[in-house]
Amino acid sequence: MGLSALPPLLLLVLIFSLLQTHAIANKKASLYTCHSWPKITFMLQSYVVYLGGHSHGQDPSLMDLDGVTTSQYGLLGSILGRPEKAKESIIYSYTRNINGFAAMLDEKEAAEIAKDPKVVSVFPNQARKLHTTRSWDFLGLENNGKIPDYSAWKVGRFGEDTIIGTLDTGAWPEAKSFADEGMGPIPLKWRGICQSGQKDGVTCNRKLIGVRYFNKGFAAAAGVPLDESYHTARDLEGHGSHTLSTAGGNFVPNASILNNANGTAAGGSPKARVASYKVCWPDLNVATGCYDADILAAFDAAIADGVDVVSASLGGSPTEYFNDGISIGSFHAVKNGIAVVCSAGNDGPSPMSVANVAPWIFTVAASTTDRSISNYIALGNKKHLEGRSLSASGLPGNKFYPIINAANANLPNVSTTAALLCESGSLDPSKVKGKILLCLRGDNGRMEKGFEALKAGAVGMILANNVSDANDRSSDPHVLPVSHISYTDGQLIFAYVNTTKNPMAYISPVRTQIGIKPAPVMAAFSSRGPNNIEPTILKPDITAPGVSILAAFTEASSPTELASDKRRFPFSVLSGTSMSCPHVSGTVGLLKTLHPDWSPAAIKSAVMTTAKTRDNRRKTIMDANNEKATPFVYGSGHMQPNRAMDPGLVYDITPEDYLNFLCARGYNDTLIRLFSEKPYECPVNNTLNDFNYPSIAVPSIHARKVTLTRTVTNVGSPGTYKVRVKQPAGVLVTVKPSTLEFKSIGEKKTFLVTLTSKFFDSRINDYTYGEMSYIVYLGGHSHGQDPSLMDLDGVTTSHYGLLGSILGNNEKAKEVIFYSYTRHINGFAAILNEHEAALIAKHPNVVSVFLNKGRRLHTTRSWDFLGLERDGVVPLGSIWEKARFGEDAIIGNIDTGVWPESKSFSDEGIGPIPSKWRGICQHGKKDRVRCNRKLIGARYFNQGYAFYAGTLNSSSFQTARDHDGHGSHTLSTAGGNFVPGASVFGHGNGTAKGGSPKARVATYKVCWPPIYGFQCYDADIIAAFDAAISDGVDVLSVSLGGEPVEFFEDAISIGAFHAVKHGILVVSSAGNSGPDLGTVTNVSPWMLTVGASTIDREFTSYVALGNKKHLKGASLSARGMPSQKFYPLISGADAKAANASTAQALQCEPGALDSKKVKGKILFCLRMDNDRAGKGQQAALAGAVGMILANDEQNGNDILAEPHLLPASHINFTDGKYVIAYINTTRNPMAYMTHPITQLGTKPAPFVAQFSSRGPNTIQQKILKPDILAPGLSIIAAYTEAEGPTNLIFDNRRIPFNSQSGTSMSCPHVSGIAGLLKTLHPHWSPAAIKSAIMTTASTKDDNMEPIRDSTYLKATPFAYGAGHVQPNRAMDPGLIYDLTIYDYLNLLCAHHYNKSLINLFSNESYACPKSFSLADFNYPSIAVPNLSADSVTITRIVTNVGSPGTYKVRVKAPAGVSVSVKPSRMKFKVIGEKKKFKVNLKPKVKGKPKGYVFGELVWSDGKHYVRSPLVVKHTKN
């Protein structure tokens, strides 16, 4: 095979909760054809009692079978009183392969027998509905009537001697499709019969080798005796003959219907043997369709008869596997090596409508072929429209006829709605006669409407789709000339008829057209995913032709099924997933002939992994509404039989794997043993992620990352496979190994797929359907700093006009735009579909169009640690003193709002509000947030969030009040007032205050309770930035973010640029995705990005073990142990509940602990994915007296003090291993934990928090990120009193201050410092303030050693940027690296944005410099990711902001790099003077350094030290 591409994996990432349904519903199912079937609700008295499998083997004796029946009489007799009553009640005894029976029972009897331990399930005998020959040419098996050598027909010997059975309405044995001409003897393996009816003999032959009928379940539902027409396997409806001939019909030349679609009819396996199992019947009394009792009997018989493939074009609403007759029957079939193919259902286009969802079933959706049987409508206004039809004749003369809207042809006392739908008895013949009637699709059958039109005297009918059926048109054999048109064309005709005095029309005769494009197109009726029983299994699996399929039909009924239609045809055209299902069944027959040893799962895998998702234009398959279809519609794609013959690799699944799957879904061992009838025990570490399905569906990514296992088996020649992944948007996908080498057939290889969540738009490009909310960014405004209301209205009107040009009119634009950004940021947020978003993105006035993505949110010793105070006293040299505590600086915070009653926002000692403030205090619907002279503004933004959350009815969504705590914490850290006596449960006692304690603060609430794991949405974030800029803030603090994306597609980046352009510094958090490299977010060069570090304070709780070993942990628990004594110690793994895995119990997950084992003990839990405080809650609920929380290896030494609900101590990974070893090697392990104490002056400090996101910058590596490091661990600050400190539902504690950790906490430390610098230097630009903070930072800890990581290894600038912030030194940096807006535009130019886009972005006339390089961008840090073989020269310009002086350079060169600086000395005489210097970096050895190396460049005049980090890497060859 050589070097090949790995068969594509279908990657689906869905963010919604997994829902399991275990209810037994008494509901109807359906024959999956596109005809309308009446829906009747009734209570059934017949039940199916399912007992699992048999132990009597493949070939049971009559004694075995009698023994089964007798045992069933005994079982039911024990409920009913005696076996004789059971004999009267039982209507079916399943004795061969399926163990169970169907019986007439009342509700109480059914409930009683369900309790028997031998019973797997009891469920009502539910009704099912039934869910042709250009298709094989379209699928590539023939080419214009000739069969090429590579065709699966020829290679697979036309399915010779494979046996295909269908469960359906029977067979019309006289059909030529079932002739046995050219067929050899019946295969010896066949054990079936040809069952004759009471009066109707059905003759079998060497083609149609078996027929049976099953009617007892139907009879039980009907409740009346069945006449002779219900005692025959003959097909009286046509559906069964159609599906059976599509799967395995013989070649029949000159097949057609009404001289249309002429060609040779054939099934997918034309030389296969076929057998019919009739389970579906015409309606009788209250019974309709096909019943589970009969279906199970048919499956049992088919398995015993020896079929190879079962095709079942029927189904109902999906239910749990053990309550579904089709699911049960198909499991036993697959267990016996029989592939089962089922229809997906005709309930589309509604989502979650797909049926037959068990993983052992092959579920088929429906799509079109490239043939249409069509005609044309000519209107009197010379407009021509294409429709679909199979009418036998054209209009009675080549002329135009009057056309009438059926709504205007109603009889007296009949509603216009009924007449519009052409319902029975609704039309007035005096108005209709001699005219073409215009009817609307819906309610009654399509051909029934034609019959009503004919009865009323119409000469023809135009059938127009309703909006839900869109473009889904059918070629039906109407009784009069008809044309079926799309919704859009229907609207045009209705408008013409309603606005024209004498409307006229003509309908052309029908003709067959071949080679139409696009094809395939998904049928609107085809049922959709996601799978609502088990979302990790994608359904449907595949799509195949199912629209206007020509195949054999009964001659007992007309093609319209109307009693008045006396026409009879040997072939007919039908549409539905009932028609697509046998296409796949026939293809499976070919593969069974070609590969007789392949399992059903291997065949299914071959068909799925070779499917295509492109149409005959080589574009993505479209849905009927002209939108891109998704895997929820087509599964793996459109079937390609010729490719399925040689898939290369398959994902195989054994019956044991299916049992493991059931185990992972929560079925217990006992039930599964009954189901499988063999010894079975659930594996210990078994998850749905490891189920070897050919498609991959992840309904929920927990903790950002999910890893799945798959195993492939080589079924082709030896070769090496390399993986290629098309990642779902917003999801990082890695595959290990990425190369698989196979040396022999049957060889297996396992690989891992890891999916890491980035943005919420991970559900966009690959599978989202319908509409999403997008942000259309247009750049800046030209109306100046203080626009008038007329200016703002003009902007909004221009937005309506721009979007209206795409949508058709401005009114539509007004309906979908929910934010118009009018003040400083130019753009809008609107609900658009993917196509509309793509169209507007092409407009020359548009900078970018991106999704309204979700983002996540990223305390008072810290100011003492930073040198602003010393033991509560503010020294004279403190920046607090010199900058007047940030007086009158205005700090805005984009977060979760504010708790206004907090003392941190008291205006005591604060003067009048600055006159520059233009903001408001926005009140909620019921909740007044009171502002004052400290908290001067509050706004909330929720429209972007509402798009995902739905209607926001609760008043909690209409307020700026903080119900989460995060916003109050960050805002008070940046600018909170002095609050003495602040603590958390008495820990960390001191005076709380912000970085700028006398600053004014304003809150912009954009974050709300999580939806799909995200709290803050881009549309709201941009609206908040636009408002904050207009309100007059000086500093914006933004402790939230997502994965880094290009600058113009990042809401925070866009908002920050416009803020910086207006002189506002934007400080943002680096993210909490460390310690992995390349995880830093908020990477735009105009933002100040902050990482997180520790301070020299710890909240310590010691763990004492029974062996006298003492371990240091961290905690903020409110109380200590119940008494000062040792307690028994137990690992969560040893305390697992019966239904939990060891891993779940060790991680103390909800429901995983056995309270009997835990009560009164200290519980040992492992940190991993679930919430740390949540583990404490589970421990407390289980009765533990305390908890030891130990880090896993990844979290290392990163321990956090948190306000647990019970005494707890958080210890590091090394100590955790020690405790586990102690537990496992000690007979009676004991432990005690001390009450937490506050320790000050701990060393070393700072060190970088493990969670703090790291560089390099993945968007632009020449800009080092993060920029700076600041305190972010165990920070005490103000909190909401609407939540407990753990944010857990059961936490009823309320405290005014709380301790939190994260880069969310480090960010406002720097925001507060920026407020001080803004007060001290009001004319400094945002870049100047940023430079002052960065160049004065320290890279040493309080031991005067290099700052370290939490692993105790030396940290790098990728962790700390320029270093740890030093506010007092930032007051007087000496020199700064300043940047103007034009410098940022030059950077964008060098970053490959074009001039037009940059002009829109800046709203200024701009031309890219001819020779600007990113090496010359005046950033305070220097990053060279591409050091060439020769050298790289960097240019920088410094501005003097201190006293006159001479600066000399000092360089600590990165290892392996030679660094020279020219000039090496600079003399400054005045403030504001600028000097330029160049830095040349050259590798000492060619090709090295290969990895990153680090150094620093320092300018000093003896007083000031202006430091820049150097980050260098050699260019890759």
Tell me how far apart the alpha carbons of residues 658 and 599 are, in angstroms, rounded to a whole number: 13
In the block, which residue shows the tokens 């494009």?
517
For residues 1084 and 1114, the answer to whether their CB atoms sit within 8 Å is no
* 557 neighbors 536 (Cβ within 8 angstroms): no
Identify whether the C-beta of residue 248 lies closer than 8 Å to the C-beta of residue 268. Answer: yes
Interatomic CA distance for residues 1406 and 1061, integer angstroms: 15
Phi, psi of 1320 (to 5 degrees): -75, -35
DSSP letters of 1119-1165?
Answer: S--SSSS-EEEEEGGGGB-TTS-HHHHHTT-TT-B-HHHHTTSEEEE
Q: How many secondary structure helices (H) and strands (E) does the chain include?
A: 38, 75
Question: Is 966 a known active-site residue?
Answer: yes
Residues ≥6 apart with Cβ < 8 Å to 618: none
Amino acid at 1059: A
Strand partners of residue 708: 753
Active-site residue identified among 966, 1364, 1504, 1514: 966
Residue type, 415: S
Name 1460's bridge partners: 1480
Nearest to 1359 by CA among 1071, 973, 1053, 970: 1071
**629: which DSSP letter?**
P
Cα gap 1325→1060, rounded to integer Å: 8
Catalytic position from the list 93, 548, 1068, 1304:
1304
Helix (H) or strand (E) holding 816: helix 810-816
| DSSP E strand stretches across 1378-1464 | 1422-1427, 1432-1440, 1445-1452, 1457-1462
Q: For residue 209, which amino acid is it?
A: I
What are 1507's strand-pairing partners? 1498
Cα 857 versus chain centre, distance: 20
CB neighbourhood size of 1290 (10 A): 10
CA distance 847 to 963: 36
CA dihedral 1026, 1032, 1035, 1040 (to 10 degrees): -30
Closest C-alpha to 314, from 106, 526, 128: 128
Question: How far is residue 130's CA from residue 328's CA, in Å, rounded to a whole number?
Answer: 18
Q: Catalytic: 766?
A: no
Q: Classify the phi-psi angles of 158: left when phi > 0, otherwise alpha if psi is within -120 to 50, otherwise beta.
A: left
Q: Is 1139 left (phi over 0), alpha (psi -120 to 50) or beta?
A: alpha
CA–CA gap between residue 79 and residue 122 (Å, rounded): 14
Answer yes or no: are the C-beta atoms of 1001 and 905 closer than 8 Å.
yes
Cα separation values, 1201 from 685, 988, 1174, 1211, Å: 32, 11, 14, 10
783 is catalytic: no
Lookup: tokens for 475: 């070629």
Amino acid in position 648:
G
Token pair for residue 397? 């003369």
Which class for 181: exposed (0-12), middle (13-18), buried (19 or more C-beta within 10 A)?
exposed
Calpha distance 665→1139 (Å, rounded): 11
DSSP state of 653: -
CA distance 1407 to 1067: 29
635: left (phi over 0), alpha (psi -120 to 50) or beta: left
Of the listed 168, 476, 489, 895, which one is catalytic?
A: 895
List the beta bridge partners of residue 367.
Answer: 522, 545
Instruction: Please identify every residue annotated as catalytic.
Output: 895, 966, 1304
